[in-house]
Amino acid sequence: MALTDADVQKQIKHMVAFIEQEANERVEEILAKGEEEFNIEKGRLVQTHRVKIMDYYEKKEKQIEQHKKIQMSQLKNQARLKVLMARDDMVTGFYQLLEPKVTIRCRQQDVDVVQAAVNKNISIYKETVKSNITVRVDQDHFLPSDICGGIEVYNSNGKIKVSNTLESRLDLVAQQMMPEIREILFGSNPNRKFLD
């Protein structure tokens, strides 16, 4: 049995249709697989970058938190030093006056700190001097707010004053250092007998 041209054409068409169908299925399969791989890769990249971004912001949050802790620690230390300085200024003033009644003047913003320090320092003074003292923080007259801090202690009638402000201490140090400053600026003078 010989095949006629029509049968051959029919078989060729059938084979071409089969090959085209196979090719289309293969193309769809390749496209589907490519899309699936693309989605997997895209998901992996998105996840990787999401993790990087989250890590970055976690580090930033930790840095901010650490910075806040450092600032809080510095503020606490400054407050503690302020209290210690007020206490030292106060006790020094009490010792210099040795009066039974004293009045303290401070900056208006330091009143609470000074009042707290007064309560602690009275007992220290009483133990050391073995004498009672009455302390009043002046609520009517304040030191200028532009000074750096400190207190002034007055006796009961206000005639004797001990100034323990930073400015007064710097003036005292400047006067004490005057001979050294003079020598640095102008050199030593062989004719000078007194070095004050």
Q: What angle do CA 172, 177, 181 make, to 5 degrees?
A: 135
Taking residues 130-136, report their average pLDDT. Answer: 80
Q: Is the pLDDT of residue 125 over 80?
A: no
- Name the residue with higher pLDDT: 38 or 117: 38
51-65 pLDDT, tens per residue?
A: 999 999 999 999 999
Q: What is the pTM of this model?
A: 0.47
| Contact indicator for 85, 106 with CB cutoff of 8 Å | no
- The helix (H) or strand (E) run that includes residue 15 is helix 5-97
- Name the residue with higher pLDDT: 148 or 42: 42
136-176 pLDDT, tens per residue?
A: 888 888 888 888 878 888 888 878 888 888 888 888 888 88
* pLDDT of 33: 93
Task: Give the rounded distance of the alpha carbon of 117 from its chain centre.
Answer: 26
CA distances to 175, 176, 178, 181 from 189, in Å: 19, 18, 14, 13
Residue in the structure block whose two tokens are 């106060």: 90
| Contact indicator for 129, 95 with CB cutoff of 8 Å | yes
- Name the residue with higher pLDDT: 172 or 34: 34
Q: pLDDT confidence of 32, banded at 50, 70, 90?
A: very high
What contacts 182, CB < 8 A, 6 or more positions away? none
Domains of the chain in start order, with CATH, are 76-164 (3.30.2320.30)
Q: pLDDT confidence of 134, banded at 50, 70, 90?
A: confident
* pLDDT of 90: 65
60-116 pLDDT, tens per residue?
A: 999 999 999 999 888 888 877 776 676 666 666 666 667 778 888 888 888 888 888
Question: How far apart (Å, rounded) are the C-alpha atoms in residues 105 and 163?
Answer: 10
* pLDDT of 57: 93
**What are the backbone angles phi and psi of residue 122, rounded to the nearest 5°?**
-60, -45
Q: Would strands 134-137 and 101-105 be described as parallel, antiparallel, or unpaired?
A: parallel
The dihedral of CA 94, 97, 103, 106: what is its sign?
negative
